[in-house]
Chains A and B, each alone.
Chain A
Amino acid sequence: MSFLDLKNVTKIYPNGTKAVHETSLSVDEGEFMVFVGPSGCGKSTLLRMVAGLEDITEGDINLDGKLMNEVDPSERDVAMVFQNYALYPHMNVYNNLAYGLKNRGIDKQTIEQKVNDAAKLLQISDYLQRKPSMLSGGQRQRVAMGRAIVRNPKIFLFDEPLSNLDAKLRIQMRLEIKKLQQKVGVTSIFVTHDQVEAMTLADRLAVINNGIIEQLGTPIEIYDNPKSLFVAGFIGSPQMNFLDGNLKNKTLSAEGFEIKDINSDHEGEVTLGIRPEHLSQTENGLINLKVDLVEQLGSDNLVYGQLKDKKDFCYRCPGNQTIEKNSNLSLNIDNNKYYIFDKSTGKRVN
C-alpha cells in the first residue's frame, strides 16, 4: 500500500450532485501530485475528502497505513493551503503559524523555534508581528504556506493557492513551492485548473474530468501520449488542433488530405489531433494554411489561420521565421506525431 491510497472513492453531495465517481489513486511518499481539470470537475471535492472536510460517500481513503474515513480533520495530520489563504485575521503572523502547534500542546520554546525556522525558510521573519491585513498578496501566500509547513504534516494539500496572485508573482511562487516541496520532502497534492502550473509542478499529474480521473501519469507522458480527446485538448498550450476525419483500411481521410498506413485497425468517424508545435513547413505538405494572424512571442511565433474548409488552425514555429499575414503555408506533420480519437467515445485509437 502506498502512502496515500484512495480506493473507489465516490462523493455524492446531499443535493444529489455526484462530484466524484469511483476514483482510485495512489500517491507515494514525498511525491508531488497535481490534480488538474476544468472548473467544477471535482478536484476540490477530492482534495477536501483527503483533508476530511467532506464526508466520503463510498470508498476508502488510507493515509500512512491508517483508514481515514471516520477520522476527524483535526486528527489527520494534514495541512491545507486555501485559495483565499484563510489566514486568521485577528492573529499576527507569528500566532497564525503557532496556532496549530499550540493545539498540539507543544511547549513554548519548541514552538518559537519551529515558527522562526519556518519563517526564515519562507522569508517572512520580518513580518511576524503583523496582522494578515497588513501584508501583500504574495506575503499572505507565504504565511499560508508557513502555517502548513510549520506543523510538519503527513501531507500538504493546496487548493488553487496561486489563483489570487498576478501573473508574474504566480510564476515566482510556483517555482518557490516546487523548490520548497523538494527541500522539505513532504507528500503534496496540488489542485489547479491551469495546465501550465500543473505541468511545471507535478511529479505526477491526474487529469480530472466530470469526477473521473481521465489519465494519470508524469507530465511528459500525458503530453506525449494523451489517452483521450479531453486530455489531449486540455494539456498543451496553445491547444491541440482537432480535425474531423474518417478512418478506413488504415487510411485516414480528412478534408483535403489523407494519411496512409495508420497504426490502428479502428474504422469509422474519428477526430485527428495535431499539436501546433508538431508541424513544419515544406513544399507540397499535407496541410495548407491560410494565415490570418501571427502572434510573435519572441522565442516562438503562433500562426493562426484557416484550412481549406475554413477550419481554424494553429501552427507554432520558431521565432526567427518571418511569416506574412495572408500568405499560404504548406505544412507537414512531424514524425507521425498525430493523435486519432474515436469521435463518439473520445478514446485514443492509434
Chain B
Amino acid sequence: MKFKPLQIIAHIILILGVLLMVVPIWISFASSSHDSVTILTEGMKFHIGDQLARNYNEVLNEKGGWSEEVTAAKMFINSFIMALGIATLKVVISAMSAYALVYYRFKLAVPIFWLIFITLLVPLEVRIFPSYKIVSDLGLTNSYTGLILPLVASATATFFFRQFYKTIPDELLESAKLDGANAWSFFIDFLVPLSKTMIAAMFIFMFVYGYSQYLWPLIMTTAEEYWTVVMGMKIIYTESYEGVALPRTAERFAYIILSMIPPVLVVVFLQKWFIKGLIQTEK
C-alpha cells in the first residue's frame, strides 16, 4: 500500500499531535519514579527510575495537612464523589428540563429557556459570595451536598439536550402515545435510550468539569476531610520540612499522575457507549 503525499502530511500532523499530548504525561510519569533530589539537580527525566513504588506508596498513604490526617487517597475519593455527583445530577436535571421545555408547550417555555441560557453569563466564580452565603445558611459547608449542589444546574447541557430532542420526529411521540406511553415512560423508554450517546458525552464533560473544580471546594471546605485533588496539588507544592524548604518534586509528579486516573477511567469506560452510539445509525 502506498501513501499519497497528503496522507503522509496528515499522518505527520496527527503524530505530532499525539506526541504533544503524550510526552508531557510520559515525562511526569518518568519523573515520578526518581528521587526528588535527582530531579532537582538533574532536571526532568525521560526514563523510568527506581523510586516508583516508594513515591507512589508515599503519596497514597502519607498523612498530610495541618492535622496530619488527610491522605491523597482520601482527596481522590472526595474529588471522585464530587465529580460523580455533579456529572450525574447535571445530566439528569438538564435532560429533564430540556424535556419539559420541548414537549410541554406552555407559554413561558421560550422565555424560561432564555433565562436558563443567560445563566451561562453568570458562572459560579461570579456568584461565589451569594452561593457561599446560601450554602452556609443551609448549614451545608463541609459536606458533599454543599460541594455538589450549587454546581448541578447546567445551561449548556440543557441547551444540547433541547436541540437534540427537537430533532426527534413528532410521530415518534404520537406513536408512543397511541401505544399507551405516558409522559414519564416516553422519557425513559424513548428519549433516554435515543440520547445515550449524548448522555455519555455530557457525562464525560461534566465529570471533568466537576473534577477540576478549585475555587468552590476551596471556599466551601474548612475541614480537611473534604479536601479535593486540585486543592491538594497546591498544598503539596507549598509543603516544607522544618524550615528547610525542600520541594518534593517526585511525589508531586506521582500525585499528578494519580490524579489523572479517575477522569481517564470515566472516559475509557464511557467511550464504548459513546462509539457504539456513533457507529449504529439509528434512523
**Which residues of A are interface residues toward B (Cβ below 8 A)?**
51-53, 72-74, 76, 78-80, 82, 84, 86, 88-90, 99-100, 103-104, 131, 133, 147, 151
Contact = CB atoms under 8 A, between A and B. Distances in A.
B180 A74 contact: yes
Contacts of B172: 86, 88
A89 B191 CA distance: 11
Nearest to B281: A133
A86 B180 contact: no
6 contacts: A51-B174, A51-B178, A52-B177, A73-B174, A80-B175, A133-B283
Contacts of A89: 194, 282-283
B179 A86 contact: no
A53 B189 contact: no
B169 interface: yes
B162 to A, nearest CB: 20
B190 A80 contact: no
B282 A53 contact: no
A80 B176 CA distance: 10
A284 to B, nearest CB: 59
Contacts of A147: 175, 179
Interface string B176-201: 11111110010001100110000000
Contacts of A86: 169, 171-172, 174-175
A31 to B, nearest CB: 20
Is chain B's binding surface mostly helix, strand, loop or mixed?
A: helix
Contacts, number: 64
Given A82-B171, A86-B171, A88-B172, A133 B282 contact: yes
Interface size class of B (residues with CB under 8 A): 20 to 34
Nearest to A14: B105
A148 B123 CA distance: 50
Nearest to B180: A103
B177 A53 contact: yes
A48 to B, nearest CB: 8
Contacts of B194: 89-90
A74 B177 contact: yes
Nearest to B194: A90
4 cross-chain pairs, A with B, having the tightest CB-CB distances, nearest first: A103-B180, A100-B179, A86-B171, A86-B175
Contacts of B177: 52-53, 72-74
Given A84-B171, A90-B194, A100-B179, 12 more contacts: A74-B181, A86-B174, A86-B175, A88-B172, A88-B175, A88-B190, A89-B282, A89-B283, A90-B190, A100-B180, A131-B282, A151-B179
A94 to B, nearest CB: 14
Nearest to A90: B193
A90 B180 contact: no
A147 B283 CA distance: 18
Contact of B282 (A52, A90, A151): A90
Contacts of A76: 178
A86 B175 CA distance: 7
Contacts of A80: 174-175, 178
B191 to A, nearest CB: 10
A311 B166 CA distance: 51
A117 to B, nearest CB: 18
B178 A73 contact: yes
B179 A99 contact: yes
Nearest to B185: A103
B34 to A, nearest CB: 52
B168 to A, nearest CB: 9
